[in-house]
Amino acid sequence: MIIIDENIVSFMIFTPLVSAVFITFIPTNDTGSKLAVSRFFSIIGFLFFLRIVYIFFNHKLTSPHNFSFTISQISINFNVFISEHNLFLFGALSIVLMANMILYELNDTKSNIHQVAPFVLTFILFASFGQKDIKVALPIISISNFIIYFLIGYSEKNRRGTTIFHTGIFLFTCDALALVLLQYGADDFTQLAILLPGLSRISLPLCAPFMKNLFLNLDEAEGPFILSFLHLSGFLILLLSKYELTLDQSTIALVVGIISAFSAIYIALEAINERKINTIYYYFLTFYSTLTGSVIFLLDSKQSWWVSSQLVLVNIAIFMHTARSALLVNQYRAQGNYKSRIRATWFLSICLLVGIPGLGIGTVLWPTFYLFYQKIIIMPEPLNNLWSVLLLLWLCALILLAYAMLLIFRIDYNDKNELKTAIFEHKKPIKISFVYAPFFIIFIAITIPLITTYMRIKGKIL
Amino acid sequence: MSLNLVKILVLFLAILMIFTSFKNDFRNQNLYRWFCALLLLPATIAATILIKINAMQSSIITTTDTNLFKSLFFIDLELYIESLDIVTITCLVISLQSFLFIAEKSIFLENFLVTISTTLLLVLMQIFSNLFIISIIFSIGSIIITFERILICGDNIPIKDLTRDFIWQRISDFLNITGLLILVYNTGNISIKKITSNYFETNHSIGALLFISAVVRIISIKQTRNDSITSSSVFHISDTQYKFYTAFGSLILLIKMRIIIFNYAHITMLYQAISGTLLLVALTNLIINHKKHDKESSFILLITTVSLFLMPAIETKYFYILTLATIFLLPIQLLTARNISIKPLPRKKLESIDIVLSANLISRKIVLFLSLISANFIHPFYASFLLYRLPQLLVSAIQIPLRFFHTGSIQRSLLFMVLMAASYYSIWGL
């Protein structure tokens, strides 16, 4: 155990890379073996992360970790810093990878890169999460986006070309602008543009006009991972750019707050028009991510890591589950096996995302709103009113999203012919795991805040 | 002793609920019914002893040894049961026991799960001291019962009819929790026990938020009206159970929060006026529908009317009237046990004074219109034109000189490049 503990960080970071190498060695057609290997390594990676959490909160983790390689006169050198601010990002990504591997079946033999891409992307993000300097992390993340464009390009959607063009050109422009500004060292309001790469990845509609196009043209099985990748890298960039900005903290918080509140309303209105169950949960993910974006800036650093980690982890867990449920629901509908059990389970899965107090994401959403209120009420007069309006906008957006959920739940399944066939045809039995999954997620959504709070208290005591 | 009795009651109700959820394994209905009765027996005995103790001592049950819960959940899970709560709890349990025996064979299997969930959730709502937990139990309960209803009749009734009140319930939840969050910030506590023992002044807005949330919730009962019940009334019963849960739960919330809501005399007058108006509307509807022998609607309106009628009775002094009147809702639950044949209703347009339906319609139209604007105008203008098309136009404007030379032929493009290079060297030099 001591040997593992000494090199635990390197084990966690390099597990995805090793698994990518192993998967590449297996022939492309042998998807069974590839799936087994990827599941094994994703679970091992998650266990390493759990060990890191344990060591970190016992104050036994030495930081930074230095990695250096020399391959024929080219030496690669990088440091990895682990603090409470970025620890949850590691956790979220290892959960995403594990969920992606366990929940989805690897049944395409398109190309090797399809099977390896999640691991390579995870490795790149793991390496970037440990960076302290945005000038180092941003170019790596920017370049790794090309793998995403490749994945989108290999799907079967009609407008994938436009999607790649819109997403690529916008993200690249934002990244380039931010890097130039960082080199130039602006000290006035222009430096707010440094926030753009982060905000555009979290897909705030005001900063990411490609959002709707991207949602509609992502492959159902790969979409959740790609979106999680974009959002987590966005959080990293926001966390790092927080330290780069020299402006007054409350001004930045206000700017991000205004953008995210208006975006929330915008997302909710867009979601009402959405008529596909395969995309509705992207809107919810984006909504809670925008909220997390403003948590990072509004609350002070002692509170923000704790609240944002809860929000991100619960949000990602529920998002992955709902995405999988939607895929299964579509499958059952295609088989003419859309029975009341599936309807009820789908209803419960969607309800986890709506923000009902105490259920699903609601377990962390309302404490966050409370902390916001606590922060807002002590502000001086004009700021105080402005923030109250923003808080109200978030609540309105939440109600609109609940309405959107209701519409999507009703419209897709109200076909009377389908109802008739559903009663008489039972072609394939319903998976028991599908029916019990929402209850498991309810349990996870309660335990994540408890564990985070426990760690916070324990961290203080020690 | 009283505390242990409450624990036994809740535990056995919970066991019964879990047992009921595996009903599909039972072929013999009578045996199933006897098993249920056997499991319910300890709960009934506990409830009976509780009410006896209560009658003798008029006691208030509280707990102080919450260390285990505190260390587990970091929140106060204190129990606090007033003497009048014990009355309602006992009535609920007896009502459940009666349902078990008088329910008809044709409806029993489908509806017992909903009935036991309703009872358990309503009992749980009354034993906790923390207002947050009470509200959370209520809102999660509405989701669980809707889930069970879809499970029972999702194959036969369109989802639209099963989830009609969903959005109103959520609005009410959000208002309620917002009010409670402000209350926690202002007073520092959320426990009923502390609020009742210490006099304090709260903001009007908190009371208003909580009251509006209760009104929205009670009005939402009307939204649950099923128009498309066709062959059997089996599904109608789970529907009425749900309405009963909403009415009863909202009244329990009102009783629990009475000190916060009815803190000021003049504001209370206003609340009573609102309740009175709503009562008038509901009564008018009841009379109109009664003439048409519209049994189903009268049934629903009966619940609404009774609930609304109780609202003006709530004042801190006379809250026992409310508690007693809440118990009057119980026969509605019991009525559902008999299979009353109901004729299918044709879909109707708005006829009477139906504030709720028209408000719903208008708000829905506004929201849909706004979303249409954002999807068809703002998004294309902002995303497609402003951020992609406009820069493209600007870049192509810069390219105008190039267009003179470049017409698609590679030779001319090369010529242009040579000319460019030559002019560059001639102007700037090496």
Nearest chain A residue to B389 by CA distance is A166
Rounded Cα distance, A436 and A431, in Å: 9
Nearest chain B residue to A403 by CA distance is B167
Q: Please tell me the predicted confidence (pLDDT) of residue A285.
A: 92
Among B147, B184, B368, the residue with its CB nearest the CB of A272 is B368
Taking alpha carbons only, the member of B402, B218, B201 closest to residue B310 is B218
Rounded Cα distance, B300 and B281, in Å: 14
Size of interface A-B (CB pairs under 8 A): 126
Nearest-CA distance B385 → chain A (Å) = 10
Rounded Cα distance, A445 and B46, in Å: 34
pLDDT beyond 90 at B348: no
Q: Please tell me the predicted confidence (pLDDT) of residue B138.
A: 93
Rounded Cα distance, A87 and A106, in Å: 29
pLDDT beyond 90 at A409: no
Chain B residues in contact with A400 by the CB 8 A cut-off are: 367
Nearest-CA distance A407 → chain B (Å) = 9
Query: Running DSSP on this structure, what letter comes out for residue B128?
Result: B
Of A48-52, B196-200, B268-272, minimum mean pLDDT range: B196-200
Q: Please tell me the predicted confidence (pLDDT) of residue B231.
A: 46
Using the structure block, give the residue that is written with the tokens 């109707």.
B348
**Most confident region among A70-84, B107-121, B314-328 by mean pLDDT:** B107-121
A373 and B185: CB-CB below 8 Å?
Answer: yes
Nearest-CA distance B321 → chain A (Å) = 30
Chain B residues in contact with A419 by the CB 8 A cut-off are: 155-156, 158
B160 and A340: CB-CB below 8 Å?
Answer: no
Contact A368, A295 (CB under 8 A): yes
Q: Please tell me the predicted confidence (pLDDT) of residue B350.
A: 46
**Most confident region among A125-139, A445-459, B271-285, B330-344 by mean pLDDT:** A125-139
Among B143, B167, B379, the residue with its CB nearest the CB of A351 is B143
Q: Please tell me the predicted confidence (pLDDT) of residue A462.
A: 45
Q: Please tell me the predicted confidence (pLDDT) of residue B193.
A: 74
pLDDT digits (tens, 9 = 90+) for A97-150: 888 888 877 666 667 777 888 898 899 888 888 888 888 888 889 988 888 888
Q: Please tell me the predicted confidence (pLDDT) of residue B298.
A: 57
Q: Please tell me the predicted confidence (pLDDT) of residue A460.
A: 60
Of A110-114, A421-425, B171-175, B398-402, minimum mean pLDDT range: A421-425
Nearest chain B residue to A424 by CA distance is B155
B280 touches chain A (CB under 8 A): no
B150 and A340: CB-CB below 8 Å?
Answer: yes
Rounded Cα distance, A49 and A90, in Å: 7
State percent of chain B over pLDDT 90: 6
pLDDT beyond 60 at A279: yes
B159 and A359: CB-CB below 8 Å?
Answer: no
pLDDT tier, A192 (very low <50, low <70, confident <90, very high otherwise)? confident
ipTM value, please give it.
0.85
Sorted by sequence, the CB contacts under 8 Å of residue A388 that are 6+ apart come out as A376
Sorted by sequence, the CB contacts under 8 Å of residue B73 that are 6+ apart come out as A450
Window 362-381 of B, Cβ < 8 Å to A: 367-368, 370-372, 374-375, 378-379
A395 and B182: CB-CB below 8 Å?
Answer: no
**Most confident region among A75-79, B136-140, B149-153 by mean pLDDT:** B136-140
B154 and A340: CB-CB below 8 Å?
Answer: yes
pLDDT beyond 60 at B72: no
B177 and A366: CB-CB below 8 Å?
Answer: yes
Contact A179, A139 (CB under 8 A): yes
Higher pLDDT residue, A264 or B33? A264
Higher pLDDT residue, B348 or A300? A300
Q: Please tell me the predicted confidence (pLDDT) of residue B296.
A: 55
pLDDT beyond 70 at A245: yes
Nearest-CA distance B374 → chain A (Å) = 7
Q: What is the mean pLDDT of residues A212-236?
A: 88
pLDDT tier, B262 (very low <50, low <70, confident <90, very high otherwise)? confident
B155 touches chain A (CB under 8 A): yes
Nearest chain A residue to B179 by CA distance is A370
Nearest-CA distance A398 → chain B (Å) = 9
Contact A214, A171 (CB under 8 A): no
pLDDT beyond 70 at B297: no
Q: What is the mean pLDDT of residues A377-397?
A: 89
3-class SS letters over chain A: CHHHHHCHHHHHHHHHHHHHHHHHHCCCCCHHHHHHHHHHHHHHHHHHHHHHHHHHHCCCCCCCEEEEEEECCEEEEEEECCCHHHHHHHHHHHHHHHHHHHHCCCCCCCCHHHHHHHHHHHHHHHHHHCCCCHHHHHHHHHHHHHHHHHHHHCCCCCCHHHHHHHHHHHHHHHHHHHHHHHHHCCCCHHHHHHHHHHHHHCCCCCCCCCHHHHHHCCCCCCHHHHHHHHHHHHHHHHHHHHHHCCCCHHHHHHHHHHHHHHHHHHHHHHHHHCCCCCCHHHHHHHHHHHHHHHHHHHCCHHHHHHHHHHHHHHHHHHHHHHHHHHHHHHHHHHCCCCCHHHHHHHHHHHHCCCCCCCCCCHHHHHHHHHHHHHHHHCCCHHHHHHHHHHHHHHHHHHHHHHHHHHHHHHHCCCCHHHHHHHHHCCCCCCCHHHHHHHHHHHHHHHHHHHHHHHHHHHHHHC
Among B160, B167, B173, the residue with its CB nearest the CB of A414 is B160
Count CA atoms closer than 13 A to B402's CA, side-chain side: 11
pLDDT beyond 80 at B317: no
Strand partners, B79: B128
- Averaged confidence pLDDT in chain B: 76
**What is this structure's pTM?**
0.87
